[in-house]
Amino acid sequence: MKFSYYPKLALDSIRKNRQLYYPFILTCIVMIAVFYILSALQQSEALTELPGNGTITIILSIGLWVMLFFTTIFLFYTNSFLIRRRKKEFGLYAVLGMGRANILAVLFFEVLFIAAVSLALGLTTGILLFKAAELGLDHLLEIPVNYDYGINLSSALFTVISFSAIFLLLYLNVLFQVRLSTISNLLLSEQAGERPPKGNWVLGLLGILFLGVGYYISLTTSDPISAIGLFFVAVIFVIAGTYLLLISGSVLFCRLLQKNKGYYYKTNHFISVSSLAYRMKRNGAGLASICILSTMVLVMLSTTFCLYRGAEQSLNQRYPRQINLSLDFSSTYDLSGENTDRIDGVVKDLARKNGVEIKNTMRYTEILTTGFFDGARIVSASAADAPTVDDYYDLIFTSQSDYNRLSGEDLSLGPDQVLLLTRSKSLPESGSFEILGKTVEIVSKKNGQTLFGEASARMLTPVIVVVDDLTSFPYPEQYVYYHYYDDFDTNLSPSDQMAFSDTLNRYFDETVDRAGLGITYSYVESREQNRVDFYALYGGLLYLGLILSVVFTFATVLIIYYKQICEGFEDKPRFSIMQKVGLTDTEIKKSVNSQLLTVFFVPLLFAVINLIFAFPIIDKLLVLFNNDNSVTFAWSMVICVLVFSLFYTIVYKITSGTYYKIVS
């Protein structure tokens, strides 16, 4: 065969199979464009000059590699649909005299043309849309807009190399499949696997067990620190359980329906249930993939939307005033009112010299140590090791005078009485209790740790212990820290707030008599300085969530589309036979609608169930981002589910029409 025939045959094959190839090429174009945009954003001048550029760069970098990994797996998966539909064609080529080398040469040019078109259009699309994507990110991060435009050559080269490698791997995979297949296997590939399906009770029950374990972990995890590691464990169990249940459990369910003669032997149910049994056997993995992708989209969108929506609240909770002064001391003696009053006088004097008006002052002292709860008492962390991180607490001791000033209450405690402020449900509500070797009476327990801005930044679960006198408690000799906070608002603009914060920092580092005041460490922060980092984190996460959601949604749509195409051609002979024995077009439509509704909305139903059970553990993870608002997260989930369900239904309407045209 002449060499010039190979490219012609390849182009002709793509054109004749455009129903399969065009959606695949479109998806490749979208993924290449998104990949280029993510890569170019990492090197954007608008971001590199941003004070919080480290945070957003790390987020984009993680997203880039996650997308590359997912894209590789997804393109392999969708390419398997293409190859399965083309194997019979390859077998006909072989019957007509083409050797394997000739077939592989045609396939090489097919992959080459697809790669060339995808890369050319994908890069062009990415370059054209990059500025719009950058402006959108600037808006989320609340930074000045940069309208300069240019092409990032290094990102374009990295994109070409990455996707060229993926297309090469796709070709090698096809080469491997064709070389190992006989002519008869290729010709009969579409009839393979048509034996009656058998449900596997063991795998079905194992799927239920795995889902139960994943849900149990989510429901019982009580500590944000534990949630970090357990979340990924729960995800693995849920993914495994979903695949096992939709592959084996769904076939079992169909077999049980078939045994119900009153239900099964009706026109609509007979056709739809028998077809579903074959579908679940051969395409259960595809349904599970749709379910997992849908779950990922819902989790990412609801979580990142909640974080960004609550960014201002989290910022104000973490930094309760415009200027936040933090001082460390070496002993309880240095935290005396006389000493802290002198420091307050120093701050006010410096503010007066710089023309700064101080207002809404928030002053308090605390003694911080770490302890663990053994079920009956809280012991110092220096005394023994706790079995799990769930049992560790950050113990924050503060005086009732400071608590009354911050809360506006009139609390009056005795020498052996305490008030607990914590979100922990393990500690008692009231009664006698031992803390660090001292038996005290808990007068009440509240969820009021947000009164103290610094407590919201603790990695361990904070327990604020309000006492009548800080000097009356037996603190351990190790792992104990003495802090004083002087937070206040000013009459300054955001830029002047940051400048005065720097002035205070330099003063306490270089000018003030630190030794005379007992200060061992000082740090001054302004809310405006940290606003950039907050929005770099939350805005970056939302942006990445939106980008990856677009990619995963395209993947979901393409899998659904290919399932409809492949299953339409597979079901066509069966419907043709049933039409010959008297099945009407109306009955075909009813049967098609019955099974398509089941196949389409089972993955969505499972995705929503997974999301509901994931709520508790994700809610704990959000606490680590200073977001402790379960109501906002719940509403974010509801909104995302409604929007995604609407989009999912539109996809169903479009693709179900394609399936019906094929089978009818």
pLDDT digits (tens, 9 = 90+) for 77-119: 777 777 776 666 666 666 666 666 777 788 888 889 999 999 9
523 and 533 belong to one structural domain: no
Amino acid sitting at position 110: E
Which helix (H) or strand (E) is 615 found in, with range? helix 585-623
Residue 426 DSSP one-character state: S
Task: Evaluate whether residue 186 is within a structural domain.
Answer: yes
- CA angle 265–269–274, rounded 5-degree value: 90
d(CA 258, CA 189): 28
Residue 390 has pLDDT above 80, yes or no: no
**Contact 517/507 with Cβ under 8 angstroms?**
no
Task: Evaluate whether residue 455 is within a structural domain.
Answer: yes
Q: Which residues pair with 399 in a beta bridge?
A: 467
Q: What is the mean pLDDT of residues 371-381?
A: 79
434 and 548 belong to one structural domain: no
* Strand-pair category, 417-421 with 438-446: parallel
d(CA 258, CA 252): 10
- CA angle 60–64–70, rounded 5-degree value: 140
520 and 533 belong to one structural domain: no
Start-to-end Cα distance in the chain? 39
Of 26-35, 77-86, 246-255, 542-551, which one has max mean pLDDT? 26-35
d(CA 318, CA 411): 25
Residue 469 DSSP one-character state: -
Q: What is the mean pLDDT of residues 267-296?
A: 68
pLDDT at 250: 66
Measuring CA to CA, which residue among 278, 163, 298 is closest to residue 611?
Answer: 298
470 and 408 belong to one structural domain: yes
Q: Say which residues have a Cβ less than 8 Å from residue 19's Cβ, sequence separation at least 6.
A: 565
Can you give the pTM of this predicted structure?
Answer: 0.71
Task: Evaluate whether residue 656 is within a structural domain.
Answer: no
Please report how many Cα atoms fall inside a 13 Å half-sphere around the Cα of residue 469, on the Cβ side: 7
Tokens representing residue 324 in the block: 């936040």
186 and 205 belong to one structural domain: no
Residue 120 has pLDDT above 90, yes or no: yes
pLDDT at 440: 87
Measuring CA to CA, which residue among 573, 566, 585 is closest to residue 655?
Answer: 566
Residue 427 has pLDDT above 90, yes or no: no
d(CA 110, CA 113): 5
- Which of 23-32, 254-263, 415-424 is predicted with the least confidence, judged by mean pLDDT? 254-263
Residue 264 has pLDDT above 70, yes or no: no
Tokens representing residue 551 in the block: 């990619």
User: What is the CB neighbour count within 10 angstroms for residue 437?
Assistant: 13
pLDDT at 457: 63
Higher pLDDT, 150 or 347: 347
User: What is the CB neighbour count within 10 angstroms for residue 387?
Assistant: 9
Task: Evaluate whether residue 313 is within a structural domain.
Answer: no
**Contact 86/9 with Cβ under 8 angstroms?**
no
44 and 106 belong to one structural domain: yes
pLDDT at 170: 87
Amino acid sitting at position 4: S
- Which of 227-236, 583-592, 626-635 is predicted with the least confidence, judged by mean pLDDT? 583-592
The string of DSSP codes covering 258-323 is HH-HHHHSSHHHHHHHHHHHHHHHHHHHHHHHHHHHHHHHHHHHHHHHHHHHTHHHHHHHHS-SSE
- Helices and strands in the chain, H and E counts: 20, 10
Task: Evaluate whether residue 367 is within a structural domain.
Answer: yes
* Phi/psi of residue 298, nearest 5 degrees: -65, -40
Task: Evaluate whether residue 617 is within a structural domain.
Answer: yes
For the chain, the domain total comes to 3
Dihedral Cα 218, 222, 226, 228, nearest 10 deg: 50
Please report how many Cα atoms fall inside a 13 Å half-sphere around the Cα of residue 343, on the Cβ side: 29
pLDDT digits (tens, 9 = 90+) for 285-336: 667 777 888 888 888 888 888 888 888 887 887 888 889 888 888 888 777 7
| Reported confidence tier of residue 209, pLDDT bands at 50, 70, 90 | very high
Higher pLDDT, 266 or 31: 31
Q: Which of 474, 502, 527 is the last residue of a domain?
A: 527
SS3 4: coil
424 and 362 belong to one structural domain: yes
Dihedral Cα 648, 650, 652, 654, nearest 10 deg: -150
pLDDT at 188: 52
Measuring CA to CA, which residue among 234, 19, 249, 9 is closest to residue 112?
Answer: 9
Let me know if 286 is exposed, middle or buried by CB neighbors in 10 A (0-12, 13-18, 19+).
buried
pLDDT > 90 in the chain, percent: 6
558 and 519 belong to one structural domain: no
Domain membership of residue 103 as a residue range: 1-191
- Which of 50-54, 154-158, 304-308, 530-534 is predicted with the least confidence, judged by mean pLDDT? 50-54
Residue in the structure block whose two tokens are 């009656």: 196
Task: Evaluate whether residue 446 is within a structural domain.
Answer: yes
Sign, CA torsion 508/460/470/320? positive
pLDDT > 70 in the chain, percent: 76
- Which of 70-79, 289-298, 587-596 is predicted with the least confidence, judged by mean pLDDT? 587-596
Residue in the structure block whose two tokens are 């455009």: 18
- Which of 28-32, 54-58, 477-481, 604-608 is predicted with the least confidence, judged by mean pLDDT? 54-58
The string of DSSP codes covering 172-220 is HHHHHHHHH--HHHHHTGGGTT-SPP---HHHHHHHHHHHHHHHHHHHH
| Reported confidence tier of residue 194, pLDDT bands at 50, 70, 90 | very low
d(CA 43, CA 156): 12
**Contact 461/434 with Cβ under 8 angstroms?**
no
381 and 248 belong to one structural domain: no
Q: Which residues pair with 445 in a beta bridge?
A: 420
Please report how many Cα atoms fall inside a 13 Å half-sphere around the Cα of residue 270, on the Cβ side: 11
Residue 247 DSSP one-character state: I
Task: Evaluate whether residue 661 is within a structural domain.
Answer: no
SS3 98: coil
d(CA 538, CA 626): 11
Let me know if 510 is exposed, middle or buried by CB neighbors in 10 A (0-12, 13-18, 19+).
exposed
pLDDT at 118: 92
Tokens representing residue 537 in the block: 């984190």
pLDDT at 159: 92
pLDDT at 197: 46
Tokens representing residue 147 in the block: 């309208």
d(CA 67, CA 548): 7
Higher pLDDT, 326 or 471: 326
Higher pLDDT, 263 or 407: 407
pLDDT at 148: 66
251 and 185 belong to one structural domain: no
181 and 276 belong to one structural domain: no
User: What is the CB neighbour count within 10 angstroms for residue 121?
Assistant: 17
Residue in the structure block whose two tokens are 């889902």: 211
pLDDT at 242: 86
pLDDT digits (tens, 9 = 90+) for 502-549: 888 888 887 777 777 778 888 888 888 888 777 777 877 787 778 778
Distances (CA, A) of 208 to 216, 456, 491: 12, 38, 60
- Which of 21-30, 85-94, 430-439 is predicted with the least confidence, judged by mean pLDDT? 85-94
Residue 164 has pLDDT above 90, yes or no: yes
User: What is the CB neighbour count within 10 angstroms for residue 54?
Assistant: 11
Tokens representing residue 607 in the block: 């995705």
pLDDT at 199: 53
Please name the residue ranges forming H helices in 354-493: 400-407
Residue 334 DSSP one-character state: G
**Contact 378/440 with Cβ under 8 angstroms?**
no
Q: What is the pLDDT of the chain when averaged over all its residues? A: 78
244 and 144 belong to one structural domain: no
